[in-house]
Amino acid sequence: MGWIRLLIRLTGFLVFLAGTCALAIALKLIDLFRRQPVDRAPWAAFCFRRACQCLGFRIQVHGQPTEANALYVANHISWSDIPILGCITPLRFLSKAEVGNWPIIGWLARQAGTLFIQRGSGQARRIKSEISRCLNTGESVLVFPEGTTSSGLAVLPIHGFLLAAARDANTPIQPITIGYRRAHRPDPIAPFIGDDSFHAHLIRLLRQPPTQVDVVIHPTIDPARSESSNALTALIHQQISAGLKHIHAGEFEATPTGLRTAGAPGLPRLP
């Protein structure tokens, strides 16, 4: 059954990639005849939802994104965090530079407006300024302040330097917790860690039955009210960690499956 499931899903995923590439090319061609570029946000959300469908994720969202733009801050478990969070609310992502070099995926990420940072290259100040600029123009940006992916069992120490972009832009911070569960336990397949390769990890995901993904959207935080950057970092770490504990305790398993929020069932559901 695993190989049959892999064949069906992999075919669907390849068709999805081809269609997404065609869409991205079409949007670039349309831009040639317009004074302002086409807004990519709704198209990106559409593609993210289709990606999650191809990957077989059962997503449940608990909480509500803020109506205004915000700096979203989430724990990081896998590359799949990006399509999952991207289909919930319009976002620009900050990703490691290596993703930008992935065939096809990297090019598509660039077309969606992803910001890339090379770890250990001294680019943090430039990236912080770029995030502030995006926030000032009304866009929302999501960062993974752990700086790397984890096993998903706990939240790693987070780096607070980029969080100052929200204070510079007078924009709220909204913490997010993401967790993967399979057979009522933390999913050991979803984490993308160590020297794992994208294609090998993708094949493992596609071979397995669907995994449940819980996304907890916490209340916004006004960064100007924090006494120090350390206090702000500690508060965010505490909220994200608490959300992960609730997920792995199985507290959300009674919630109906689908892309929705507990307080706002009007959000679009995955097909």
* pLDDT tens, position by position, 5-41: 999 999 999 999 999 999 999 999 999 998 888 888 8
Concatenated DSSP letters for 181-216? EETTEE-SSS---TT--HHHHHHHHHHSPPEEEEEE
Q: Using alpha carbons, select from 215, 225, 220, 131 the residue that is nearest to residue 174.
A: 220
The whole-number pLDDT of residue 102 equals 82
Q: How far apart are CA 215 and CA 217, in angstroms?
A: 6
Label residue 260 by pLDDT band (50, 70, 90): very low
Q: Is the pLDDT of residue 3 over 90?
A: no
2 Cα distance to chain centroid: 27
Label residue 99 by pLDDT band (50, 70, 90): confident
Cβ neighbours of 261 (radius 10 Å): 18
179-200 mean pLDDT:
92
pTM, entire model: 0.86
194-220 mean pLDDT:
92
188-213: b or e for each residue (b if 16 or more CB lie within 10 Å)? eebbbeeeeeeeebbeebbbbeebbb
Q: Is the pLDDT of residue 259 over 70?
A: no
Least confident range of 58-67, 95-104, 181-190? 95-104
Label residue 257 by pLDDT band (50, 70, 90): very low
182-190 mean pLDDT:
93
Residue holding tokens 């915000």?
70
225: DSSP letter: G
- For 36-59, the pLDDT digits (tens) are 888 888 888 889 999 999 998 999
Q: How far apart are CA 202 and CA 182, in angstroms?
A: 16
**pLDDT above 90 covers what percent of the chain?**
58
End-to-end CA distance of the chain: 23
Q: Is the pLDDT of residue 265 over 70?
A: no
CB 263 within 8 A of CB 64: yes
- For 131-168, the pLDDT digits (tens) are 999 999 999 999 999 988 999 999 999 988 889 999 99
Residue holding tokens 């995994």?
211
Task: Name the E strands within 14-96.
Answer: 57-62, 71-74, 92-96
Answer with the residue of higher pLDDT: 117 or 59.
59
- Rounded to the nearest integer, the mean pLDDT of the chain is 87
